[in-house]
Amino acid sequence: MMKKEISLQEMLERSVNDLQCMKKWGTAKVYKAVENSVTRYMKGRAIFLHGVTPEWLLNYEEYLCHQRKSWNTISTYMKICRSAYNSAVDLGLVSPIHRLFHHVFTGIISKRANAMDIGMLRKMMEPNDYFQKLSVSQMRTLKIFMLLFLLRGMPFVDFAFLRKNDIQNHILTYRRKKTGREIQIKLTSETINLIRDLSTDTKKRSPYVFNILHHNEWSSEAYLEYTSALRKFNKQLKDISKIIGIDISLSSYKARHSWATMAYYSGVNPGVISQSLGHASLSTTEIYMNPFRNEQFDKANEQVLNYVRKGK
């Protein structure tokens, strides 16, 4: 009896199920999006593993371009397809093809990320007339944003899932949701006051520091609560940026990127920045830094040209 052929969509669905069993709801959601994308590209038909060829991948990449996906999104989709395909190879469901994904984009494009400058940060940290225009809810959102910055660019997901027992003797210790890396931060009086101000949870039995989640940490319900809170948070930040006159559109990620940028410009070693952010490797931090290094290289080039032309 011939073995039933397995499709790429089936392998992706297996990955979705495995990730859900591991309570990795966010990653499972991305894998499901790729599965749906492949199915739409195939107009509802299956693409069996033997049909995943370099030509098919290039055509799928072109399809994603026409869908106006960014190159970094395309890279993510391709890497997820590669992961599902490699799982099938490991299970003996398909023979490996050398350099199958070599001709499609699986890299990362560094962009000038509109990190906040010192002036913008000071404008948000120091009380001013703009604050009077903010609602109570918007002011709370602004305080959370500044706390994320003060906590070394903490991601919102880690903020939402912070537990009361993560804080001991003015030391905050937690594990990053994305990488599992342990982060330890000595809390300053400013951060302690902000945490006390924002931890308005009246349910003393709740294990969480902030009143964002109400379900078990590893449940799908808690993940949905987090994503809902993140959407509301980012929407309010966009409104706040207009009210207080900041040129860039704020988001939760801006706190993280701005901290990394300020650290880099103030002379902190990239290795220290990498460990402070809880990155899995220095190469991830380099992605943050490359646009700013290019900016410094351009300034250096300008200095050289000015010296040649004007002798200074």
DSSP 263-305: HHHTT--HHHHHHHHT-SSHHHHHHHHHHHHHHHHHHHHHHHH
Question: Rounded CA gap, 67 and 74, in Å?
Answer: 10
> pLDDT of 73-104, one tens digit each?
999 999 999 999 999 999 999 999 999 999 99
pTM over cut 0.85: no
- Cβ 80 vs Cβ 52: under 8 Å: no
Residue 67, C-beta contacts closer than 8 angstroms, at least 6 positions apart: none
Q: What pLDDT digit, counting tens, does each position of 218-235 carry?
A: 899 999 999 999 999 999
Over range 272-281, report the average pLDDT: 79
Q: How far apart are CA 10 and CA 130, in angstroms?
A: 53
Other CB atoms within a 10 A radius of the CB of residue 26 amount to 13
DSSP secondary structure of 39-94: HHHTTT---BGGG--HHHHHHHHHHHHHTT--HHHHHHHHHHHHHHHHHHHHTTSS
Q: How far apart are CA 141 and CA 61, in angstroms?
A: 39
